Chain A
Amino acid sequence: AQTVTQSQPEMSVQEAETVTLSCTYDTSESDYYLFWYKQPPSRQMILVIRQEAYKQQNATENRFSVNFQKAAKSFSLKISDSQLGDAAMYFCAYRRNYGGSQGNLIFGKGTKLSVKP
Chain B
Amino acid sequence: NAGVTQTPKFRVLKTGQSMTLLCAQDMNHEYMYWYRQDPGMGLRLIHYSVGEGTTAKGEVPDGYNVSRLKKQNFLLGLESAAPSQTSVYFCASLRALEGNQPQHFGDGTRLSIL
Contact = CB atoms under 8 A, between A and B. Distances in A.
Q: In this complex, which of A35, A51, A102 has the most chain B Cβ atoms within 10 angstroms of its Cβ?
A: A102
Nearest to B88: A43
Given A52-B100, A102-B48, A44 B105 contact: yes
A75 interface: no
Dominant secondary structure at the A interface = loop
B43 interface: yes
Given A44-B105, A44-B107, A50-B102, A103 B97 contact: yes
A43 B42 CA distance: 13
A107 B44 contact: yes
B90 A45 contact: yes
A108 B103 CA distance: 16
Nearest to A105: B103
Interface magnitude class on chain B: 20 to 34
Interface magnitude class on chain A: 20 to 34
B42 A107 contact: yes
B60 to A, nearest CB: 12
B43 A91 contact: yes
A33 B33 contact: no
Contacts of A4: 42
Interface string B23-64: 000000001010000001111110010100000101000000
**In the A-B complex, the 9 residue pairs with the closest CB atoms:** A98-B97, A45-B105, A107-B42, A109-B42, A107-B43, A47-B102, A103-B94, A103-B31, A33-B100
Interface of B: 31, 33, 40-45, 48, 50, 56, 58, 88, 90, 92, 94, 96-98, 100, 102-103, 105, 107-108, 110
Interface of A: 4, 9, 33, 35, 42-45, 47, 50-52, 91, 97-98, 101-105, 107-110
